[in-house]
């Protein structure tokens, strides 16, 4: 089956990249393949202009921030997000894209107006699972895996909270999935389950980004000819 549409020039699939400097990028690529998307591993800043959506995976946020700086990603990433590229940070990725952290390091990139606390759930419960109801995800609750997970402690104007982990005896409920425009952040790891619904949601955001950029370049071509 061809992935090209009528004019033979525009692939219909949104082009999705997964930042592959550190962390569990392979698992995201696998999940995307389960829903028919061939994603690329992003290791060079030049690749950002060739994709409609980027996932920053879980891993170690201090290391990811350091590597993004070393490989000169920061300005280009910001400029692509400002021009409408979809972005999804999972766990460490959420920390990386936050506006501000409750922790002294790393210095996040400020791509989404949220304040985040790292390792919120503490040492005793570094990892746990919870059933979440997520806005925009239809059907049953989603089983969410939390591994040394952050939480969102504050959201700026226009940031929607999509999911909260319920309160327990020890702690109040906490926001763990947020979205503004095409920028999505989750504290948990959908790539470590078999549930592809969060990945499908992200693909929709990348599709929007793709049709926007196709429309923009058509308009540009029309204004030239
Ligand atoms: N606690 C890690 C950090 O601060 C994130 C853990 C994860 O991505 N699973 O970077």
Per-residue pLDDT tens over the stretch 47-86? 999 999 999 999 999 999 999 999 999 999 999 999 999 9
Please tell me which residue in 189, 199, 207, 220 is annotated as part of the active site.
Answer: 189
Tens of pLDDT, residues 127-154: 899 999 999 999 999 999 999 999 999 9
* 30 counts as catalytic: no
Question: Separation of 127 CA from ligand 1 center, angstroms?
Answer: 11
Examine the pLDDT at 87 and tell me if it is beyond 70: yes
b/e for 175-203, b at 16 or more Cβ within 10 A? bbbbbbbbbbbbbbbbbbbebbbbbebbb
In the residue annotation, 91 being an active-site residue is answered as yes
Position 123 confidence tier, pLDDT thresholds 50, 70, 90 = low
Distance 185 CA to ligand 1 centre (A): 13
pLDDT tens across 177-192, in order? 999 999 999 999 999 9
Annotated catalytic residue 28? no
Q: Binning pLDDT at 50, 70 and 90, where does residue 124 land?
A: low
Q: Is 106 in the pocket of ligand 1 (CB under 6 A)?
A: no
Q: Is the CB of 63 under 6 A from ligand 1?
A: no
- State the pTM of this model: 0.93
Pairwise pLDDT comparison (6 vs 19), residue with the higher score: 19
Distances (CA, A) of 143 to 183, 198, 201, 218, 223: 22, 11, 16, 42, 49
Catalytic residue chosen out of the listed positions 27, 34, 100, 191? 191
């Amino acid at each position: 089956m061809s992935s090209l549409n009528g004019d033979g020039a525009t692939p219909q699939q949104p082009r999705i990249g997964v930042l592959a400097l550190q962390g569990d990028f392979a698992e995201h690529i696998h999940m995307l393949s389960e829903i028919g998307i061939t994603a690329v591993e992003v290791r060079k800043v030049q690749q950002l202009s060739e994709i409609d959506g980027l996932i920053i995976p879980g891993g170690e946020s201090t290391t990811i921030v350091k590597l993004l700086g070393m490989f000169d990603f920061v300005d280009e990433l910001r400029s692509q997000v400002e021009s409408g590229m979809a972005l999804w940070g999972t766990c460490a990725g959420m920390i990386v894209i936050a506006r501000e952290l409750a922790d002294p390091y790393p210095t996040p990139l400020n791509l989404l107006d949220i304040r985040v606390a790292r390792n919120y759930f503490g040492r005793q419960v570094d990892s746990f699972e919870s059933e979440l109801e997520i806005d925009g995800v239809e059907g049953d609750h989603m089983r969410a895996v939390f591994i040394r997970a952050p939480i969102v402690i504050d959201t700026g104007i226009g940031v929607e909270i999509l999911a909260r982990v319920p309160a327990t005896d020890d702690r109040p409920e906490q926001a763990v999935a947020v979205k503004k425009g095409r920028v999505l952040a989750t504290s948990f790891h959908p790539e470590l389950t078999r549930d592809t619904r969060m990945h499908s949601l992200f693909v929709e955001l990348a599709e929007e980004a793709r049709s926007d950029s196709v429309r923009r370049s058509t308009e540009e071509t029309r204004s030239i000819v």
